[in-house]
Amino acid sequence: MLLPSHSFAEHQYRFVCTAPKDSAVGQFLWSIYEEAFANLGKSFEMIHAPPMRAHYMLDNRQVDGDCARHLSFAINNDLNALPVELARSDIYAISLDGGPVPVSFSNLSSQGSVGVESSANWILETVDGLMAEKQVIETKGLEQGLKMLRAGRLDVVLVLAAKYDLMTQVDPQLTGEGEFTVVPANQNIGFSPIMCGSDPRFEQQLASELSRLLQQRGLATGWSASP
């Protein structure tokens, strides 16, 4: 007698990562996620995509989550942020070499025009209230911000240290030789796993396993980009 089959294809969890796998933060995130999913006995795939593409994939539920995003991204997009911090990054302040000394966040109001990438909500939220609204100039990216610095249209550009380090690793000529002064702006931002909320029980399991692996590796908040 034939018995009914109850075998179903196991769900493969798909996460998007905006950092390339061969970058420092990418290597850390790929490795801790692969270990976590193996320990949980779940099938897993990590996909690299730039931020705007990653946002589209999350909006359209083409992936189950993003491996590390700022809390504001989850709130603004009705997604769940898991209660474990996997990465931290300083914010760099960039100015023309020989120009005004780059800022700390305590004196942003005296810095003239400050450029921030329009998609960097976490930086925009951080500077909100620290300077006049007209001082903040939103740019399309770091490249445009640097061009505006060169043209005298900005006094300072703010960028995540992790992004700056990655972009200058890919293109060492991006910032020129001795053309800019780059210093930390004394503000550290954390990033956590983001999921779409379709499986709350598994989200809790994943958060617990990632936290356990961080403790096992002796890390309080995961990977860190700071000078």
What is the percent of the chain where pLDDT is above 90? 36
Q: What is the pLDDT of residue 31?
A: 94
- 3-state SS string for the chain: CCCCCCCCCCCEEEEEECCCCCCHHHHHHHHHHHHHHHHHCCEEEEEECCHHHHHHHHHCCCCCEEEEECHHHHHHCCCEECCCCCEEEEEEEEEECCCCCCCCHHHHHHCCCEEEECCCHHHHHHHECCECHHHEEEECCHHHHHHHHHCCCCCEEEEEHHHHHHHHHHCCCCCCCCCEEEEEEEEEEEEEEEECCCCHHHHHHHHHHHHHHHHHCCCCCCEEECC
In order along its 227 residues, the chain shows pLDDT tens digits of 444 444 446 789 999 998 888 887 888 999 999 999 999 999 999 999 987 788 899 999 999 999 998 887 888 788 999 999 998 888 888 888 876 666 666 677 777 889 998 877 677 777 777 778 888 899 988 899 999 999 999 988 998 887 888 778 777 777 777 788 888 876 677 889 999 988 899 999 999 999 999 999 887 667 776 54
What's the whole-model pTM score? 0.72
36-91 per-position pLDDT tens digit: 999 999 999 999 998 778 889 999 999 999 999 888 788 878 899 999 999 888 88
